Amino acid sequence: MGRAVRRLGNTTNVIHGFIYFVPEAAEEYGKLGLSSFRPQYFGSRAAPMGPVGPDLVLATFFNFSPEAVAEGIPLAWETTSPEALQAARLTAASRVLDRVAGAVTVEGIAEATDIASEMVNNTSMAGRPLAAANQSVDPPDDPLTRLWQLLTVIREYRGDAHVAALTASPVSPVEALVLHAATGLIDRPRLQDTRGWADEAWDDAVADLHRRDLVRADGAFTEDGKAFRESIEVQTDLATQPILDVVGDDRVHRLCDLIEPLRDALIAEGVYPWRGLK
């Protein structure tokens, strides 16, 4: 275990994650009457679970402030239905994927879909609420969008494992974001803005982690902090490995070989507003 599980996690995270930033998504959700980011984001990501309340969204998404979630849920369900939002999300994904479809051959899409389908359809989703919900989504007709939805299940499978590892560590939602910012992959302002945490809550989390000698007073990692966060990633890897074991690490590497050109094409297309995701 090791390289394959981390490689798969990094690759699927990028391929899945564009849906939260592209204008096509905002356009499709806007057609349903959702005109602002938070009901669009929380509604579209929660849609596979049905018209769930804010408490369940907080529990499964983990690192958002209650105030941010309250801006999106239940407003999303008062405006449209989970089924309509899920359909809009897939339409938006398909529109973006059409632009980069040349990065993967028809044969490559078919082979990647076979591997991903075997993984998703032969793994227990016990304890994986977002992965299980996405597994229940009807497969899209478009082959590349169907592959994207399968990779979304795999991404959320790891995400569910990561939430469990964070909870067991233990760190709070905002503390998890402070540790994420300390990696340098994404800065505090973007994390704080998108997750809805006020300065006071963020600063309190830095102070609490500083008392535990995990970050310095400025929020940068201590050596113990680096090791602590890596231990969370290792626990996430361990809990994610079952979905890889279905096909074996060699075929997982083959899946990554097939989909990494798609990842690279999406990044080159500019679907992310920053370049910290590689």
What is the residue extent of each domain of the chain?
A: 3-269
Q: State the Cα–Cα distance between residues 135 and 26, nearest whole angstrom.
A: 24
Residues 6+ apart with CB under 8 A from 237: 1, 2, 5, 6, 9
Taking residue 9's Cβ as centre, other Cβ atoms within 10 Å add up to 22
Which percentage of the chain shows pLDDT scores above 70? 97
Q: H/E/C letters for each residue in 62-80? A: CCCCHHHHHHHCCHHHHHC
What pLDDT is stored for residue 208 in this prediction? 98
What pLDDT is stored for residue 272 in this prediction? 84
**Over the chain, what is the mean pLDDT?**
96
Least trusted range by pLDDT, from 61-65, 137-141, 270-274? 270-274
- pLDDT (tens digit, 9 = 90+) per residue, 142-160? 999 999 999 999 999 999 9
124-127 long-range contacts (CB < 8 A, ≥24 apart) are 124/242, 125/157, 127/160, 127/164
What pLDDT is stored for residue 273 in this prediction? 67
Nearest to 226 by CA among 182, 168, 172, 176: 182
| 3-state secondary structure (DSSP) of residue 186 | coil
Better-scored residue on pLDDT, 1 or 197: 197
Q: Which helix (H) or strand (E) holds 13?
A: helix 3-17
pLDDT, mean of residues 200-228: 98
- pLDDT (tens digit, 9 = 90+) per residue, 215-237? 999 999 999 999 999 999 999 99
Least trusted range by pLDDT, from 46-50, 189-193, 196-200? 189-193
Residues 6+ apart with CB under 8 A from 140: 90, 94, 146, 148, 149
- pLDDT (tens digit, 9 = 90+) per residue, 64-74? 999 999 999 99
pLDDT band at 132 (very low <50, low <70, confident <90, very high): very high
